[in-house]
Every structure is written in structure tokens, then in C-alpha cells.
Amino acid sequence: MCVVSGPPDCGKSMLLAWLVEHATEPDTEAVRRVHALVPLTGHSARTAAWQLAEQLQVSARTPGELLSVLARDRRRTVIVLPDMHESAEPAGIEELACSLASFAHVRVIVEIRNPSAILLAEEPAVMDLAAPQWTDSDRYAAWAAAELSAGHDNTSHPDHHLAPVDLDDPASVCDADPVAITTAYESATEAHGGLRAAWLRSGASVTRPQEPSSRAVVLWSALGDDADPRMENELCALAREADWRVRWKRVRGDISPPWPGPVRSLSAGCGALAGTAVVLDHQGVVRLISDDDGRPAGRLQRPVPGAVAVAAASEGTVVVLDHHGRLTLHESPTASQPSGIAGLLEVGPSPWESLAGQAARHVRGTALACASTSLAVGSTEGEVHVLPGNGTGNEGVSRTLHEGAVTALTVAEPTEGGLLIYSGGQDGRVRLWDPDREPLGTPIAERNCEVTALAASPLDGEVALATGWADGLVEYSVTGAEHRVRHFRPGPPVRALSVLPGGDVLIGTEESLIRLAPC
């Protein structure tokens, strides 16, 4: 850790501004790059963590979540935190800064007037700009005189306290300074009609620069069923100009209908499971819910320990992938069973059992997707293996599409026929592949963070594609001439996605399950 200190007007801000300017240019060496800058004026530890998470392209809604994410990401990271003395919660931010600096791969530069005992206990490198070796009294006097004659009063500081906002009024909250709103809700003891819980659940998604209508959609999607019903109506009206509408949502703690638990994987039902969504939770429990309103529609008889992904196949079959890369098949509780002579004559493995057996022989799976008669599995080596269920015994086809593991897979079957495979990886790339052709030479999407979820579905002769990223962003587009991309950030990390037959999107997180309709 490095601490830059000194009284007002000693040049701290200019020094840090110069450092950040020259350490964020495109050609900056990796060892000299600044990765995040958060001026702390008015910030609490929570809002500072939100800002850091957004700039570092990770998803974290609390200081603890940010620390957990950075502990797993061993890349060199440099963070600059000016104006700590003007923060709304100096003690909490000092604790966050010290915790960040405890990681060997993280460098923290803090600017503060007078370092506290807590900061000094970390034995940081201290640069006191009031010390003689950093000052030139003659040049400073000349500069100060010039500033004074130009009418600049550098000893004053702007009043960062805004006029009071009505925390019970969605319109007032969505249009106010988001950092001030967060600070107010953090210290509040009332529920404010459910707005407080929805705001804090949404994290940096509500503090990002955006139109009030977009902020209203995020809050709408995070409201619990214990919220004042008027809040949902008002947020719906405020969101009239936004890109999305909330069809329904279930958040942690909801009772009627119940929240299905943390979502790890989603799949839109087909065939016998049409009209339902298959939901996998953190304990391996696989539930069926109505995609129309989120109400329970059944569950598998037993949990699947270590399950990481599910895919709804035809004939009421649910395919489950576990963390060892093994595939298992399960009959849904609504699947019809053959009886009489048909049941007696049915011998040998089913087509899906044959596909699962072939996949187990060829690849250790990390991601899973099913089409009507095909199975796709991703591997730790960036390979995607597609097995056709046409009864020909074909061993399938494989392509290495990613550097590192495949982290997400989805398939789409266009109305004109064929099969489209979309894959996402640790390398931050989304690739498109038709197994009958060579893969496209370049990714169809690429960002500097991991792909966490993919979902695709035919829609009006085109294909609707939803992509989830590790920083909490969901991107949605429909192929075609316009190819408009819509964005949504639910707040919690995005774990799973599903595109329903009509084009709506299901978004699964640790805190919520949301159905959105693109406008």
C-alpha cells in the first residue's frame, strides 16, 4: 500500500491525476497500469466496492464479495483511492483498503490528509507532500498567487450534501444522486415500502450512470413480494421508456409464489415439458416452474450432488452435468411412462442414454446444452463436442473454440433446419458454430471478462441470443438487419439464462429469478 498525504493544496490531487492519466493510456506497460480509480468523496465502503467492481469488470454487491472475487483472480491489480478524508464512512473504507492491500497481487494507492493509525499499522509507503523534499516554496507561492488572482479559492470544498430525497417515492429515488441514495438507505431503519431492500440488492446496477427509466426497471426486478404493491405500479410507469418490462420476478424471501432458491442453471422446457423452465439450485435440487408466472410445477425426486448444469431434452428427459464432468439422465415428474405391451417391448438404452454414454467417452464436461435430437458438451480444454442423436452411431464432431475452459453452451434450431452452437469461455469470447461447417474465424462477441451464461432460441425466422458476463451484464440481441443489442444488469452475479420461445428472457442469480420482456 502507498499513502499520499499532506494538507490541502499540497498537490496531492494533481499528482494522482497525473499518475492515473499516464497509467491508463492504451500503450501503458502492464506493470505500470492503473486498473481502477474511485474518488471517495461521499462514498461508503459499500458504494466504493460497487464502483471498484464495475471498473474491474467483476460482480460484487458488498465489500466482502469484492474481496472474495479478487482473492480468486490472481491478475496484478492497481487501485487508486483519492479523497479518503471526504468519504461518508472513513473507517469502513480504511478497512476495505487494508484488506485489498493484503493480497500480494493488489496494489492500493490511498490519498488522505492525515493517515490514521489503522493505515499506518499496515506499514505502507508514505509520501507526505508537505515534507521538504517534495516542496519548492518559491514555485508554490507563485502558483498560489496566480490561482488567487484568477479567482480560485482552493481552500474551499464543494458541498457534497444534496437536498433531501423522499426515500419512499420511486420517482424521486430513481432521479437522485445514486451514491447519496445508497448512503441514506444504508443508514435507514425503515423498509421504505420495499425500495430499500430492492436498492441494496441491486448493487452497482443502480449506481451506474443511466436514465431514471432504466434504474426503475432494475428496482422493479428486485422488489420482494412483501413490498408495498403501489411501488411496483409506480416503477412500472417510470419504466415506460426503458428497453425492458418485468413479466414476473422471484427474489430471496418471497413466499407467494415461493422463491426457488439460488439459481445455478436454467433450461427452457420442450416437448412434454413445454411451458415450464427447469431450474437447478446450489444443492443439486432440480425444480420445474411455470414459465408463465414462476409457480412450482414439480421437481426431480432426488437432488443430484455436485450438479452444475441442466438441460431439458425431448420426451420429458432432464440431462444433468455434475462438477466431475459426468452426465446423468432423469425423468421429469410430469413425463408419461410406457405401459402394457409397449413397456414390456422397450428394451435397451434410450437415444438420450446412448448420447450421454458417448459424451462420457469423449469429453469431461464443463458446460451442457441439448437440441431436439442432439447433445453438446464443453470441456476444460476449450473443446465443444456435438453428438447427433440420429441413431447412426455417429461419434459426433469436435472443435477447439476457446482458450481455457468452455463456461457456457446453448443451441438453437432455426426453422429452416440445421443446428447452431453458441459457446462462451473463460477467454471472454462467444463463438458460433454450425457442426456441418467450419466455425466462424472470429468471435461474435468478446469482452475482458468470462462468459457465465448463454441462451438462444429461434424467433420469427431469426435467433434470439442472451449472453451473461462475469461483471453482471446481460446482453440480448436478435439476429437480422437491425441487430440491436439490449443490456440489463440485475445486480447480483448472473449465473444462468434461458430464452423462452416468445423471446422473453429468464435471468437466474443467487438472489433472484426474473422474467424480462424486451420492448
Give me the DSSP letters along 99-161: HHHTSTTEEEEEE-SS--HHHHTT--EEEETTSGGG--HHHHHHHHHHHHHTT--TT-----P
pLDDT of residue 348: 47
Q: Is the pLDDT of residue 339 over 70?
A: no
Q: Measured at the alpha carbon of residue 224, what is the angle toward residues 223 and 226, in degrees to the nearest 5? A: 125
Q: Does the structure show a pLDDT above 90 at 22?
A: no
Quickly state the pLDDT bin for 159 (edges 50, 70, 90). very low
- Which residues have CB under 8 Å from 436's CB, separation 6+? 418, 419
Beta carbons of 433 and 421 less than 8 angstroms apart: yes
Place of cell 471498484: 52
How many angstroms separate the Cα of 329 from the Cα of each of 124, 303, 312, 365, 390? 56, 12, 10, 15, 18
Instruction: Report which of residues 135 and 195 the model is more confident about.
Output: 195
Q: Per-residue pLDDT tens for 53-67? A: 999 988 888 899 999
**Three-state secondary structure call for residue 515:** strand
Provide the pLDDT confidence category of residue 356 given band limits of 50, 70 and 90: low
Amino acid at 241: E
Assigned C-alpha cell, 99: 484488506
Q: What is the 3-state secondary structure (H, E, C) of 1-17?
A: CEEEECCCCCCHHHHHH
Mean pLDDT of the 11-17 span: 55
Q: Is 468 helix (H, G, I), strand (E, B) or coil?
A: strand
304 DSSP assignment: -
The SS3 assignment for 496 reads: strand
Neighbours of 509 (CB within 10 A): 23
Beta sheet of 265-268, edge-to-edge order: 265-268, 276-280, 286-290, 296-299
Please state, as a whole number, how many other Cβ atoms lie within 10 Å of the Cβ of residue 138.
Answer: 8
- The dihedrals phi and psi of 481, each to the nearest 5 degrees, come to -65, -40
For residues 198 and 514, the answer to whether their CB atoms sit within 8 Å is: no
Give tens-digit pLDDT for 299-311: 888 899 999 999 9
Q: What integer pLDDT is reported at residue 121 of this predicted model? A: 84
d(CA 465, CA 479): 8
- Asked if 265 and 410 count as a contact pair (C-beta separation under 8 A), the reply is no
Radius of gyration of the chain, Cα coordinates, nearest whole angstrom: 27
The residue whose grid cell reads 477467454 is: 427
pLDDT tens for each residue of 229-269? 999 999 999 999 999 999 999 999 999 889 999 999 999 98
Q: In 208-258, which ranges are E strands?
A: 244-251
Say what the pLDDT of residue 391 is. 47
| CA pseudo-torsion sign 22, 24, 27, 32 | positive
Instruction: Check residues 493 and 484 and name the one with the higher pLDDT.
Output: 493
**3-12, 152-161, 273-282: which has the minimum mean pLDDT?**
152-161
Average pLDDT for the chain: 84
Average pLDDT over residues 357-364: 58
Q: Reply yes or no on whether the pLDDT at 10 is more than 70.
A: no
Burial status of residue 152 (CB atoms within 10 A of its CB: 0-12, 13-18, 19 or more): exposed
CA dihedral over 486, 492, 494, 498, signed as positive or negative = negative
Percent of the chain scoring above 90 in pLDDT: 52
Say yes or no to pLDDT of 341 above 70.
no
* pLDDT tens, residue by residue, 267-282: 998 888 889 999 999 9
Classify strands 296-299 and 429-433 as parallel, antiparallel or unpaired.
unpaired
pLDDT band at residue 123 using 50, 70 and 90 as cut-offs: confident
| Per-residue model confidence as pLDDT tens digits over 430-477 | 999 998 888 888 999 999 999 999 999 999 889 999 999 999 999 999
Q: What is the pLDDT of residue 161?
A: 44
Determine the angle formed by the axes of helices 195-202 and 212-222, rounding to 10 degrees: 100
Residue 197 has pLDDT above 90, yes or no: yes
Q: CA distances (Å), 90 to each of 112, 333, 428, in order?
A: 10, 55, 36
The Cα 19–Cα 80 span in angstroms is 9
Q: How far is CA 154 from the centre of its chain?
A: 41
* Other beta carbons less than 10 A from residue 166's beta carbon: 11
The band of 154, judged by pLDDT with boundaries at 50, 70 and 90, is very low
Q: Which of 450, 460, 454 is nearest to 432 (CA)?
A: 454
pLDDT band at residue 292 using 50, 70 and 90 as cut-offs: very high
- HSE, CB side, 13 Å, CA atoms: give it for residue 64: 0
Q: If you search the block for the grid coordinates 499532506, which residue do you land on?
A: 6
Say if residue 153's pLDDT is above 70.
no
Rounded to whole angstroms, what are the CA distances from 140 to 6, 10, 130, 136, 144? 14, 9, 11, 6, 6
Instruction: Report the predicted TM-score, pTM, of the whole model to 2 decimal places.
Output: 0.84
